[in-house]
Chains A and B, each alone.
Chain A
Amino acid sequence: MVNKIAVIGDKDSVLAFKSVGVEVFDATTAEQAQDLVKKLSQGQYAVVLIAETLAVQIPETLAKAKTRAFPAVVPIPTTAQSNGFGMQGIKADVEKAIGVDIIFNK
Chain B
Amino acid sequence: MARLNVNPTRMEMKRLQSRLKTATRGHKLLKDKTDEMVRRFISIAQQNKRLREEVEQDLANAMGSFAQARTQADSRIVDEAICMPSRSVTLQCSKRKVMGIDVPQIEISDTSTQLYPYSFLSVTSRLDDSVRGLNSVLAKLIRLAEVEKTCNMLADEIERNKRRVNALENIMIPQLTETIRYIKMKLDESERSATVRLMKVKDIINN
Contact = CB atoms under 8 A, between A and B. Distances in A.
B48 interface: yes
Contacts, number: 141
Given A90-B148, A93-B152, A97-B159, 19 more contacts: A15-B66, A16-B63, A19-B117, A20-B131, A20-B135, A21-B87, A46-B106, A47-B91, A66-B153, A74-B148, A78-B63, A80-B63, A86-B52, A90-B45, A96-B156, A97-B45, A97-B154, A97-B155, A103-B46
Q: Which applies to chain A's interface (DSSP): helix, strand, loop or mixed?
A: mixed
Interface in B23-77: 37-38, 41-42, 45-46, 48-49, 52, 55-56, 59-60, 62-64, 66, 70
Q: Chain A interface residue count: which class?
A: 35 or more
A90 B102 contact: no
Contacts of A56: none
Interface of B: 37-38, 41-42, 45-46, 48-49, 52, 55-56, 59-60, 62-64, 66, 70, 79, 82-83, 85, 87-93, 95, 102-104, 106, 111, 116-117, 130-131, 134-135, 138, 141-142, 144-146, 148-149, 151-156, 158-159
